[in-house]
Structure 1
């Protein structure tokens, strides 16, 4: 057994089902899933002693109806606080402190082309505004820019808008979020002003993607692609467009439940289940060299 806390599957399943009913952005799917979870519990499918194994089994069932990759029972090796979102917040803070605030690489390549890596995620803007502004301002002097999202697992939609604001010239509608219950709709726009210097909306811009690029990182790539601002170079992304919240349902288990649905103002849809499709398909390993060559060619021409 990997945890110190005795595992009782029934309370975990009951609480997960309750949270689905109250919060999942697709109520009809939530009803199907709660029935499935209770049926599988009755059948003994969750009679395991290990929290990590239970997380794997329940996640497979949660994703079996509509393939929503944000919908999962997530295992944590160390106990997590009971407050909503606390497990994710603690892990994010550790990653933030060890990644220079989410901008671990700014480098000037040959030909006046800069590469800016944003990883491992787009951290909450109240943390990330200062390091991201510094990195984006430094890169703004380049003749062309490559934004590397190949190792980015998602993050904060406000941070997406903040980064986009440095890569555009004017205030632009980026995304519209439809929240659970359909009563609240929230638009995301780039900012009219940014700290530091903009890279702007005219110089060549490329975004690197991989099959690990996920969630808010996909939104950043998708928004820039739909606006015609950037070319995506690399692999199709993982395909998770629904923002999620997390609730602790056991000291080592967090129910991750999507609470909203993104609609892009240009495409009228999103990247859920299909991923962001690259304009220049290639392996993730080759993406940087490919984008660098494209940028130098475009500058020379």
Structure 2
């Protein structure tokens, strides 16, 4: 509620001030609402805002350049303040505005704790955040990036905020913080019982595309291509190319096709969720989250089974590649128990990925010299090479890896590298085909974009497993993979 009132009151300022400082002002208020809790803190915030309005509104009109600012031509939802630059408001107007603000700030105090729920302010102050989707690689810890709010995105794209078309005027007002709600034009019942998809207003469409373009320009590893992509998208926006596209999965798929066709990069993807996309969860600055530690303790670090099969064949079933900081001792114990095996079978048929450092930890046991383990999400560094394990006897033993269509992400990384290095025989089904090599940036409740931020050269000179999976050396149904591996190991 407090954010909404603040956005309304911003309309008292000259239009030029709103365009330059409106988004940043809204962001500052949202940050204070997030950090300053309690009645006393909120009362102090109200007093600061009222004082600032009383001092800065007359000053801004005094220094504003005379120009005519017409009211938007489209119907608006909610209160509208029409202001002519160069003509300061009368004392009566200022007094009424002050009384209006005091009445609202003091009369709805108990609602102030819920000020962060307004969709427009949340979108206005949204910073591109890192989030990984799917059950694959664990979230990485990365430094905070500067925000790419609406103003920054539009500025970086060179957008023209004086376009006279009604649709563009709506889009500009939307980006400047106008307290509109999405205008559902059509809604049809979904045949599968899911919530009906709705076609949203043109201003929202243009805002979504501009935000995606801004994130691409800021985050995509190929800066030259990113600039061209952003300009191309902005040109289409100006030409109204997306105005008739339903703002749902249809728009997301169209943008994805265009981005991939322009770059040839299959990791670029625009995502739409008819529900609400989850917010990225802030990670602790150090250490491992306690819930993860408890989950690993309860599942024995996802090491389901370790045993010695007939003919002295070692067998280990791993359902993830856990963080060695938590599970290093368990992984060491499991691998050491297989040390005297004549061959080793890694069962990854139910493995849903995990940490790249966990993949490297297990890979260390399979080589007696440094070998590069390719990771499509990280640039090559000294940590990309295996390190021999003291006392290990498995480096020259035959290795078999069992896969299924559910084998994904980090498990695919393990299988892919061993196959390319000719260190293992892959048996079973083609894997899921998910590298998770892009970083997910949330645009708002419904849209996000996956952007590769690091360009990693594949040392094998071939495409990775994104979209195609790791093809086994011996293709059999997953249920039969262990039997085939045991027979091959016995023959060797």
In the superposition, the TM-score normalised over structure 2's length comes to: 0.47
Q: Secondary structure at the match of 1:163?
A: helix
Residue 271 of structure 1 corresponds to which residue in structure 2?
A: 464
1:70–1:242 Cα contact (<8 Å) kept: no
2:314–2:338 Cα contact (<8 Å) kept: yes
**Structure number, greater radius of gyration:** 2
Residue 231 of structure 1 corresponds to which residue in structure 2?
A: 425
Q: Secondary structure at the match of 1:106?
A: strand
Residue 109 of structure 1 corresponds to which residue in structure 2?
A: 309
Give the distance between the partners of 2:307 and 2:403, measured in 1 at CA. 18
Distance 1:156 1:29, change over 3 A: farther
Distance 1:213 1:60, change over 3 A: farther
Give the distance between the partners of 1:84 and 1:249, measured in 2 at CA. 20
Cα deviations across residues 251-270 of structure 1 (Å, max 9, x unaligned)? Answer: 687654333344443x2234
2:458–2:464 Cα contact (<8 Å) kept: no
Larger relative contact order (Cα-Cα within 8 Å, sequence gap ≥ 6)? 1
Tell me the CA shift for residue 71 of structure 1. 4.3
Two-structure CA RMSD over aligned residues (Å): 4.1
2:244 is the alignment partner of 1:43: yes
| Alignment equivalent of 1:167, drawn from 362, 366, 377 | 366
Residue 477 of structure 2 corresponds to which residue in structure 1?
A: 283
Give the distance between the partners of 1:137 and 1:70, measured in 2 at CA. 41
Residue 50 of structure 1 corresponds to which residue in structure 2?
A: none
Matches for 1:1-301 after TM superposition, within 5 Å: 14-25=210-221, 28=225, 32=229, 35=233, 42-47=243-248, 58=252, 61-62=255-256, 65=260, 68=266, 71=269, 73=271, 79-81=278-280, 83=282, 93=292, 96=296, 98-119=298-319, 121-175=320-374, 185-186=380-381, 188-193=384-389, 198-241=392-435, 243-250=437-444, 255-265=449-459, 267-273=460-466, 274-298=468-492
2:376–2:435 Cα contact (<8 Å) kept: no
Distance 1:77 1:199, change over 3 A: farther
Distance 1:172 1:254, change over 3 A: same
Cα deviations across residues 121-175 of structure 1 (Å, max 9, x unaligned)? Answer: 3233433323322222223232221112222233332222211101112222333
Q: Secondary structure at the match of 2:346?
A: strand
Give the distance between the partners of 2:364 and 2:345, measured in 1 at CA. 16
1:176–1:186 Cα contact (<8 Å) kept: no
Give the distance between the partners of 1:30 and 1:272, measured in 2 at CA. 28
Q: Secondary structure at the match of 1:43?
A: coil
Give the distance between the partners of 2:443 and 2:221, measured in 1 at CA. 19
Give the distance between the partners of 1:29 and 1:111, measured in 2 at CA. 56
Q: Which residues of structure 1 form unaligned runs of 5+? A: 48-53
1:244–1:256 Cα contact (<8 Å) kept: yes
Number of equivalences: 277
Flag the structure with higher helix content: 2
In the superposition, the TM-score normalised over structure 1's length comes to: 0.71
1:168–1:201 Cα contact (<8 Å) kept: yes
1:83–1:247 Cα contact (<8 Å) kept: no
Q: Which residues of structure 2 form unaligned runs of 5+? A: 1-116, 120-180, 183-203
Distance 1:264 1:62, change over 3 A: same
Cα deviations across residues 78-127 of structure 1 (Å, max 9, x unaligned)? Answer: 954454899xx98x9386455322322223322222221222x3233433
